[in-house]
Structure 1
Amino acid sequence: MARLVFILGIALALVASMADAAVVERTFRVGNLTVSRLCESTVINAVNGRLPGPTLDVREGDTVVVHVINDSPYNITIHWHGIFEILTAWADGPNMITQCPIQPGHSYTQKFTITGQEGTLWWHAHASVIRATVYGALIIRPRQGTKGYPFPKPDKEVPILLGEWWNANVVDLANEAFLNGTSLSASDAFTINGKTGDQYPCSKEDTYKLEVEKGKTYLLRIINAALDNQLFFKIAGHRFTVVAVDASYTKPYETDVIVIAPGQTVDALMVADATPARYYMAALAYVSRDNSSNLPFDNTTTTGIVRYKSASPSSQPVMPTMPSFFDNDLAFRFYSSLTGLCRPGDGTVPLHVDEHMFVTVGLNFAACLPSQVNCITQSLAASMNNASFMFPTTMSLLEADYKGVEGVYTDDFPDYPPVFFDFTNASVNSDTALTFTTKSTKVKKVKYNTTVEMVLQNTAIVGIESHPMHIHSFNFFVVAQGFGNYDRATAEKSYNLVDPQERNTVAVPTGGWAVIRFTANNPGMWIMHCHFDSHLLLGLATAFEVENGPTPESTLPPPPPDYPAC
C-alpha cells in the first residue's frame, strides 16, 4: 500500500510538472537592417528588424521552439548560450560543430526543453562574426515565478545587453583579417541595449534610458554580448548585489563595479537609494593584456542614463569614476570573490575525477593557409595544447559522429601540452618550437557520465591576456584560479569543493590559470572555445565528443527532418 501511495504521488507530481510547462514558439527572421550610428548609415544583420533581437522569456520546464528563417546574405546559425541541450544536440547551433549553417533563403526549426535552469542566459549567431548584431536575452524564470527567487523580489527586471559596434561591415573586416593572417580590428564603439550613448558623435538621441523610482529595487540582467572585449560596468552613485552568474545563483556579493567577459551574464540587484537625479550607467573595456604592448583597442565609453522619476529631465547626469582599462587586480578580485548559493536539490561539486586534463590556451603563429592570399610567411593563430582548431567544411562534427563518417575529425586531442615550460614568461616567444602551431580538427572523446577536471593555463607565447573559455551544454564548477604557472601541490590547498561558483564561461586570469570540473552527462559533440570571436576564428577551440549512455534516455536521437545540409 505504501509503495502504491508513493507511485501515485510521483505520478501526480509529474502531471503537475507537465501542467506547469508550456511550449514557447517563436519565429526568428534574420535579415538586413539599415541602422544609423556614429554619423554613418550601416547595413547589419538583425533578427526581426531589432537590435538587440527579441527576448525569449520562458520558465523552467518549458519547451522552446524557434523557427529560424535566413533572409540574410550570409550563412547563419543560432546558439542558445548556456542551455543544457539534453538529448537535443542538433539544436545547439555552433556552425559545423552540431550543424551545417542555414543557407540564405532556407530555414531550420530548433527545439529544446529548459531543464533545471533559472536565471539569465542569451542567444546569438554562431557563424563567422555575425553575432556582433545577431543576439538577444534568454530569461528563464522559476516555475513558481518570482516566489522562487532566493533573493528579495525586485520591483522591476531590466535586461542590460552590452555590445560592440563597427561602422564597417564586420563580416568583411573578419574576412580581410583572415586573408591577411591577422586578427579582427578593434570596434568603433560599445553599446548598451544596442545604443551607443551620448559620449559618441551624433549619438545624443541614441542613448538607452532607464527610469527608476526612489526606494525601489531593480534586477539588472547584464549580458556581455561583445565580440572581443571584457567590460567594466558601473552606475554612478549606486551599488550592486550580485545574486547570479551564468544562470546559476550565487551568495549575495556587494560591489560597485561589475566585471563581465563575453558570453557571461550577471544578475545584480540595484536599489534606487541615491538622491533623485540623473546618473550615467557606463561600460568600458577591461584590457587584460600588458598595457605596454601598445596594441590598439577600443578605448571609448558607452553610456546609458538612469533617471529618477522625480528628477529634472534637463539635469546633467553624474558620471561614475571608471576603473583603468588595465586593472587586472580589480577584475580578479571580482571574479574570484563569487561563490555558489547551495540550496537543497542543487548539484554539488564532483569529488571523484575520471579524466584529468591540463590545457594551455593562448596565441601562436602558424603557416599561412593556401586560401590566405595576402598572408606572408606566417599567420596569427591560437591553440589549446598547441593544437589549433580548424572547422570542418563538408559535414558537421555531430553528423559525422552520429553516422560514423571517418576523415572529418580525429579523437586525439591531447590531455597535456606537448612540452611543459614557463608558461607565463614572455621571453619564451623567441622559441619557435613553442611559438608555432599546426591546424587540425581534434576532439576529446569521453564516456557518458565522465567527470572531467581541466586546468586551463594561460600562455604568454604571443601576448598575454585573460581568455573567456566557454563550453557548450554544460555548467562547470570553478574550483580554483590564480596567477602564474599552475602548481598542483600548492593549488589543491585552495580548491573550493564546498560552494564554488558555477558557470558556463570562465575568464582565465591574465598570466594565470583556472581549474574547472564538470560531468559529461549529455551525449553529443560540444565545442569548448574562447569567447573572443577573433580567437575562436584563429583556432582557440576543441570539442568534447560525449558517447551515448547505456539507456534510451541517455542516447542521442536522430536529427530532425529539416536538419540543414552543407
Structure 2
Amino acid sequence: MSSNLCCSRVRLKISPNVRGRIKLRNVTRLCHTKSIITVNGQFPGPRIIAREGDQLLIKVANHVQNNISIHWHGIRQLRSGWADGPAYVTQCPIQTGNSYVYNFTITGQRGTLFWHAHISWLRSTVYGPLIILPKRGVPYPFTKPYKEVPIIFGEWWNADPEAIISQALQTGGGPNVSDAYTINGLPGPLYNCSAKNAFKLKVHPDKTYLLRLINAALNDELFFSVANHTLKVVEADAVYVKPFETRTILIAPGQTTNVLLKTKPNFPNATFFMTARPYVTGQGTFDNSTVAGILEYESPSKTKNLTTKRLPLFKPNLPALNDTSFATKFGNKLRSLNTQQFPANVPQKVDKNFFFTIGLGTNPCSPNNQTCQGPNGTMFAASINNISFAMPNTALLQSHFSGQSSGVYSPDFPANPIVPFNYTGTPPNDTMVSNGTKLVVLPFNSRVELVMQDTSILGAESHPLHLHGFNFFVVGQGFGNFDRNKDPKMFNLVDPVERNTVGVPSGGWVAIRFLADNPGVWFMHCHLEIHTSWGLKMGWVVLDGKLPNQKLLPPPADLPKC
C-alpha cells in the first residue's frame, strides 16, 4: 500500500430493526408502525465518507433471514468486480449468519454516490449515502460550501415490500405502489400522522450549502425544488458538470445530483418547503403524493423567541406529473465540465455498435397459474431486444472467471433487435418476449456505442438504465425512432454529460459511448425496480487485456457461495 493511500474499514450489520418506525397514512387512515430491515440499526443506513484514492474494506454481516448483497452504486470497481455486489451477477448473496468483506479502491472518482441492497426489493430500506471527497488539498471547481448536506429520497410501504413483489411475480400483475416518499427516511407533513416526521434543514443567512441529492426510490423519477430558492447544479453521478441554475431538478432512481443553495442575505420571516413528487410517463400505477422537508433559517439572537409555527410557509411549484418538456430541457442542460483537470474523454471512434430496444411485454401464464393478472390474462415481463433476462442460480462472474460458463449463460446477446418494427408507432399485436441468460462479450478496450430505444409495446415509458463498472457519455438523445443516417450527425462528442445512470426518454432514444477498459462481468438494468424484477436487464463480459494490470484479479477467499 502506497504512503498516500488511506485504508478505510467499515462494518455494516444487517438486522431487523423494530426501532425504525415511521408513521404514515394507510387505507384506514391510521398511523402505521412496522419492523424493517436496516443496516447498523439506521434508516437510511450509515453515511460512508471516503476520499479519492482510498481503499475501502467494508465487512457486511447478515443477521436477517433474507439473503443479502450490497452494491456500491457508481463505483467503477476497476479489476475488483468481486466487490460490485449484484446478487448472482458478481457474487452469490451473503446467506444468514455469514459475512463478506467488500474490498475496493476508489480510483479517479470523487462526488456523491450511494450504496444499496442488490437483491429482490430489499433496497427499499437498505441504502445509504457514499460520499467521496477530493484528494487532500484539491479544491472543488466551484464555491467552497459552508456546509454539505446529503438528501436521500426513498419510498415507503406500509406492507412488506418483499411480500409485494413476491405476490406481483406470482400473479403476473403490477405490484402495489408505495404509501409515501421520504427525505432522509422521513415522509414529512403532507402525509397523515407524520407532521413531526419531517426532515428539517436549518441554515444561516448568506451562506452557500452543498446539497448532495440521491434518488434511492425504487420505482419513480422525482422532481425536486426548494421554495423561493435557486439551485445551482454542479455535479451529476459524481462527475462535475458545467454549472447552471434552475428552480427544479429531475432525478431518476440511481442518479445523484449535487447542487449549491445560496441562502438569502437577511433572515427571512418565513419557512420554506423542500418538496419532491414523481415524474410519470408510463401507463402503470404510481404514488402521486408529495414528500416535504422544511428549510428553516436559524433565528438571529434578537428574534430567538420567534417560533417557526407563526412564520408563513412557502411552497414550491413543481412541474406537472407528466411534464416531459421540462425533463427534456433539464437533461439537455447537463454538460461535462471538460477542463484540463477534469476532461471529457469521449471515445471519438467506435469499435462496437449496439442498438437495444427497451420496454415492457408479456409472458404466458405458467401451467400452475391460469389466472394471471397481467394484460389479457398474461404475466407482465420486460426486456432488452425482446429478451427478458433470466437470473442464474450461480454467480456469472465466478462462472466466467473459472471458465465454467457452459449451462450458466450464453455469449450471444443480439447486437440489434431480431425483428425490427416501428418502435414508437402502433404497437404490434404480439407482445410476448423471449427469456434467457445471454451476455455480450467485449474485447478489452473496445470503444462502444450503444443506442437504447424505448418502445410503445404496452405504452411508451421513461427507463433509467444503470450500467455497472463504467461511466458513459450521453452523446445524443431524441424522440421517435432513432435514425442511423441522420441522428449521429448531431451527437455531442465534445462535452456530453458523463453518468452511470441515464433515462431512455419516453417514446424516444438515447445514445451513449464508453470505453470497455474494466475486465469482468457487468450488469446493466433499468433502475425502476419493478422493471428489473420483470427482466429488463442484461450483462456485459469484458475480457482481460494482455498486460497484468488489465486482468481481473482472483476472487477473495471469503466470496459467498450459492
Q: TM-score range by the shorter chain?
A: over 0.9
SS where residue 485 of structure 2 aligns?
helix
Match of 2:385 in 1: 385
Q: Which moves more between the two structures, 310-319 or 396-405?
A: 310-319
**Kept after mapping to 1: 8 A contact 2:336/2:495:** yes
Contact 1:21–1:59 (8 Å) recurs in 2: no
Taking the aligned partners of 2:134 and 2:215, their CA distance within structure 1 comes to: 23
Cα deviation for residue 43 of structure 1 reads 1.4
2:209 partner letter? Y
CA contact (8 A) 2:453 2:508 kept: yes
Q: What is the CA–CA distance in structure 2 between the aligned matches of 1:372 and 1:143, rounded to whole Å? A: 56
Aligned to 2:178: 187
Q: Which amino acid aligns with 1:313?
A: T
Distance across 2 between alignment mates of 1:143 and 1:152: 17
Partner of 1:137: 129
**What displacement does 1:323 show?**
1.4
Q: Which segments of structure 1 move beyond 6 Å, counting only runs of 4 or more?
A: none
Q: Deviations over 1:338-367 (max 9, x none)?
A: 100012253411111010000000000112
Q: Which has the larger helix fraction?
A: 1
How many angstroms does 1:229 deviate by? 0.1
Q: What's the counterpart of residue 144 of structure 2?
A: 153
* Partner-residue secondary structure (3-state), 1:80: strand
CA separation of 1:69 and 1:371: change in aligned 2, threshold 3 A: farther
- For residues 19 and 446 of structure 1, the distance between their equivalents in structure 2, rounded to whole angstroms, comes to 35
- Supply the AA of the counterpart residue of 1:441: T
Q: Displacement of 1:72 after TM fit?
A: 1.3
C-alpha separation between the residues in 2 aligned to 1:133 and 1:30? 11
Aligned partner of 1:404 in structure 2 is 403
Is 1:474 matched up with 2:458? no
Of the three residues 530, 533, 538, the one matched with 2:534 is: 538
Listed one character per residue, the Cα deviations across residues 117-159 of structure 1 (whole Å, up to 9, x for unaligned) are 01100000000000011000111111025x4200110100000
Deviation at 1:372, TM superposition (A): 6.0
Q: Which amino acid aligns with 1:536?
A: T
Displacement of 1:467: 0.1
TM-score, normalised with respect to structure 1: 0.93
TM-score (norm 2): 0.94
Q: 1:371 Cα deviation (Å)?
A: 7.4
- How far apart, in 1, do the equivalents of 2:486 and 2:415 lie? 21
> Match for residue 297 of structure 1?
286
- Deviation track 1:59-95 (CA, whole Å, cap 9, x = no partner) reads 0000011000111121100000000101110010001
Secondary structure of 2:169's counterpart equals helix
Cα contact 1:233–1:257 (8 A) shared by 2: yes
Match of 2:23 among 18, 30, 37: 37
Q: 2:108 aligns with which of 112, 116, 130?
A: 116
Which whole-Å deviations, capped at 9, do the CAs of 1:386-407 have from their partners, x for residues lacking one? 11101001x1100110111110
Aligned to 1:359: 356
* Cα distance in 2, alignment partners of residues 524 and 32 from structure 1: 33
Q: Which amino acid aligns with 2:476?
A: A
Correspondence for 1:7: none
Specify the code of the residue in structure 1 equivalent to 2:150.
P
**Which of 212, 216, 220 is residue 229 of structure 1 equivalent to?**
220
Distance change in 2, residues 1:371/1:258 (3 Å): farther
The one-letter code matched in structure 2 to 1:483 is: F
- 2:413 corresponds to which residue? 413
Q: Which residue of the partner structure matches residue 95 of structure 1?
A: 87
Q: Is the 8 A contact 1:358 1:454 kept in 2?
A: yes
Structure 2 distance, partners of 1:253, 1:62, is: 30
Q: Does structure 1 conserve the Cα–Cα contact (< 8 Å) formed by 2:357 and 2:455?
A: yes
Rate the CA distance shift 1:95–1:183 in 2: closer, same or farther, 3 A.
farther
AA aligned to 2:379 is: S
Q: Is the 8 A contact 2:149 2:210 kept in 1?
A: yes
After superposition, residues 454-469 of structure 1 pair within 5 angstroms as 454-469=450-465
Q: 2:308 aligns with which of 300, 308, 313?
A: 313
Q: Percent identity?
A: 46
Give the RMSD, CA atoms, in angstroms: 1.4
Secondary structure in structure 2 of the residue aligned to 1:211: strand
Which sits farther off after the overlay, 363-372 or 213-222? 363-372
Structure 2: gaps (5+ residues) = 25-30, 300-305
> Which one-letter code corresponds to 2:174 in the other structure?
S
Q: Deviations over 1:196-231 (max 9, x none)?
A: 001111101110000011100000000000000000
Q: Does the residue aligned with 1:185 lie in a helix, a strand or coil?
A: coil
> Greater CA deviation, 307-316 or 382-391?
307-316
Question: What are structure 1's unaligned runs of at least 5 residues?
Answer: 1-14
Q: Tell me the distance in 2 between the aligned counterparts of 1:371 and 1:340.
A: 52
Give the count of matched residue pairs.
540
On the 8 A contact 2:241/2:334 being kept in 1, the answer is yes
Q: 1:390 to 1:373 in 2, by over 3 A?
A: farther
Q: How far off is 1:105 after superposition?
A: 1.1
User: Residue 28 of structure 2 corresponds to which residue in structure 1?
Assistant: none
* 1:349 corresponds to which of 342, 346, 352: 346
Give 3-state SS (helix, strand or coil) of 2:33's partner: strand
Residue 174 of structure 1: SS of its match in structure 2? Answer: helix
Q: CA deviation at 1:409?
A: 0.4
1:202 equivalenced with 2:193 (yes/no): yes
Amino acid at match of 2:356: V
Contact 1:305 1:317 in 2 (8 A): no
SS in 1 for 2:209: strand
Match of 1:70 among 57, 62, 66: 62
CA distance in 2, matches of 1:304, 1:386: 41
